[in-house]
Homo-oligomer: A and B are copies of this chain.
């Protein structure tokens, strides 16, 4: 199959390239980056020397349509909404790594993304690509909204509890910690090395754009509206997200019982690993891989669960899950091309 990558010069685009080059059924036919079109990608990213020495191209409908079967959009927020409908209308399936098609309500984009959505009708058509949960729906999709990095870690950590009605949904508190690559590849003062190193910073307190995405999915699964309290922190590391989730238990479930619930729930998901009792995952233990690792603890003193969920934000939180979505669309093995072992140390 032939695919294209729009936004190939961002971190998620580069990571798509790393995985797709090893995918048995796919050829990268076109790599697109308007700001760098005409340049050899290996000049911009010398780690690709001798590996992928192709020219970046401009995004236009006609030329791309004839060449690819599927397009990945790894563009900043607010770009894909204007392009994807045109490609869908021409019969090209699209997987969008940005947030432009994740929310169902067009109005929510004004509040959380600060833009007016140009294609509200397509919001209903989009399928939310959380592969370990919505596998069947995804197989028949044409436009896939690849989940946000934080949203992936949170949802995979919470859904077994919500679906099994084990927690009080009004008590969900989520403390997120992210590496800097999540901010994308662009010159910015706030993500300069000297500003980030030896520093921890809370950002977008109560205002992170993944809040409505998480609430939409949890509410749908629960059948009742669920609100979350979510604060994000920038950590001096490049890759990795950890979400520590605190929530009141409903009944007197134990850590052991909880682990059993999760083990069973994720039995078919080879990229989700539930840690044994007393063991909590670290972000480095999934570095460069598509795993989501989850640790669980019931605090008998306070009747609260602590759920620790980690992913590599650029893989399971972006490019890796996007490829899983592509695999599902094509009825290939869900993990084809993304079975990389985490790099340690």
Q: In the complex the two chains form, what is the Cα distance from A213 to B233 in whole Å?
A: 26
A60 at the interface (CB under 8 A from B): no
Note all chain B residues with C-beta closer than 8 A to A50.
Answer: 270, 273
Report A23-65 residues with CB < 8 Å from chain B CB.
45-51
Q: A50-B273, A175-B175, A308-B202 are in contact. Are A244 and B239 (CB under 8 A)?
A: no
Note all chain B residues with C-beta closer than 8 A to A297.
Answer: 205-206
Q: A227-B301, A244-B202 are in contact. Are A194 and B282 (CB under 8 A)?
A: no
Q: Is the pair A47, B285 in contact by a Cβ cutoff of 8 Å?
A: yes
Report A262-307 residues with CB < 8 Å from chain B CB.
270, 273, 275, 279-289, 293, 295, 297, 299, 301-302, 304, 306
Residue of B199, B229, B283, B344 near A237 (CB, 8 A) is B199
Note all chain B residues with C-beta closer than 8 A to A192.
Answer: 180, 185-188, 191-193
Residue of B186, B239, B283, B343 near A18 (CB, 8 A) is B343
Q: Is the pair A344, B47 in contact by a Cβ cutoff of 8 Å?
A: yes
A238 at the interface (CB under 8 A from B): yes
Note all chain B residues with C-beta closer than 8 A to A344.
Answer: 14, 18, 45, 47
Q: A186-B189, A237-B236, A242-B202 are in contact. Are A341 and B177 (CB under 8 A)?
A: no
**A177 and chain B: residue at smallest CB distance:** B200
A159 at the interface (CB under 8 A from B): no
Shortest A308–chain B CB gap in Å is: 5
**A237 and chain B: residue at smallest CB distance:** B198
Shortest A318–chain B CB gap in Å is: 13
A240 at the interface (CB under 8 A from B): yes
Shortest A254–chain B CB gap in Å is: 13
A74 at the interface (CB under 8 A from B): no
A342 at the interface (CB under 8 A from B): yes
Most buried by B among A14, A189, A285: A285
Q: Is the pair B200, A180 in contact by a Cβ cutoff of 8 Å?
A: no
Residue of B11, B175, B343 near A288 (CB, 8 A) is B343
Q: Is the pair A240, B306 in contact by a Cβ cutoff of 8 Å?
A: no
Note all chain B residues with C-beta closer than 8 A to A273.
Answer: 49-50
Q: Is the pair B229, A195 in contact by a Cβ cutoff of 8 Å?
A: no
A209 at the interface (CB under 8 A from B): no
Q: Is the pair B345, A238 in contact by a Cβ cutoff of 8 Å?
A: yes
Q: Is the pair A280, B188 in contact by a Cβ cutoff of 8 Å?
A: no
**A299 and chain B: residue at smallest CB distance:** B206
A197 at the interface (CB under 8 A from B): yes
Q: Is the pair A295, B345 in contact by a Cβ cutoff of 8 Å?
A: no
Q: A206-B299, A273-B50, A344-B45 are in contact. Are A196 and B193 (CB under 8 A)?
A: yes
A21 at the interface (CB under 8 A from B): yes
Binary contact readout A296-331 vs B (1 if CB under 8 angstroms, 0 otherwise) = 010101101010101000000000000000000000
Q: Supply 19 further A-B pairs (C-beta < 8 A) apart from A192-B193, A235-B236.
A: A21-B341, A46-B282, A46-B285, A47-B287, A47-B342, A47-B344, A186-B189, A187-B189, A193-B236, A195-B345, A198-B240, A199-B240, A199-B282, A199-B283, A202-B282, A205-B280, A205-B306, A229-B299, A288-B288
